[in-house]
Amino acid sequence: MVAHALATLDPVDPDTQAEANRLVILLANDPGSDTKVNQAVRSMLEGVAKGERVVVMREDEILAPTQAAEMLGVTRQYVDRLMNNGVLAYQRVPGSKHRRVRLTDVLALGAERERRKAGHVALLDALADAGLLDDA
């Protein structure tokens, strides 16, 4: 399992907000500011400058089920069921009953959920356009 040091910024700290805003201005004035990297960094810094909490993670991060649930917008118990049913792969912490999941697996599951949701909405729209849905 990979663990990385986390840098924590307090988004409500006025000094942190001011520094983030200063960096946003620097990046915006950079002649090469139209790059994807510049835009992504600027977007994160703009969030911090506004007092928003921004989380940046490496793709190889290992998460606790609670963290996975927060990312997916579901309960921890639902994540436990996904792991128990083999939908979400997990690893046991050595010498423990605790489980951990890879961020890449959580992101893949989230993308699949979004894809299914979009398909469901498209299907309902098509049925409604064809007049095959009850108004009740």
Helix boundaries (H) for 29-102: 36-49, 65-72, 76-84
Q: Do 74 and 121 fall within a single domain?
A: yes
Considering the domain boundaries, does residue 26 fall inside one?
Answer: yes
Whichever domain contains 85, its CATH number is: 1.10.1660
Q: How confident is the model at residue 133 (pLDDT cuts 50, 70, 90)?
A: confident
Q: Give the CA distances from residue 111 to residues 13, 28, 92, 114, in Å, rounded to whole numbers and listed in that order.
A: 34, 31, 24, 5
Q: Do 70 and 120 fall within a single domain?
A: yes
Q: How many Å from the N-terminal Cα to the C-terminal Cα in the chain?
A: 51
Is the model more confident about 94 or about 31? 94
Average pLDDT over residues 10-15: 86
Looking at residue 110, what is its pLDDT? 93
The structural domain count of the chain equals 2
pLDDT in tens, 25-63: 998 888 877 789 888 999 999 999 999 888 888 888 999
Q: How confident is the model at residue 3 (pLDDT cuts 50, 70, 90)?
A: low
Considering the domain boundaries, does residue 29 fall inside one?
Answer: yes
Q: Do 41 and 73 fall within a single domain?
A: no
Considering the domain boundaries, does residue 6 fall inside one?
Answer: no
Looking at residue 54, what is its pLDDT? 85
Residue 1: count other Cβ atoms within 10 Å of its Cβ.
10
Average pLDDT over residues 11-29: 90
Q: How confident is the model at residue 67 (pLDDT cuts 50, 70, 90)?
A: very high
Give the chain's radius of gyration (CA, Å).
Answer: 20
Looking at residue 105, what is its pLDDT? 96
Residue 130 has pLDDT above 70, yes or no: yes
pLDDT in tens, 110-127: 999 999 999 999 999 999
**pLDDT > 70 in the chain, percent:** 93
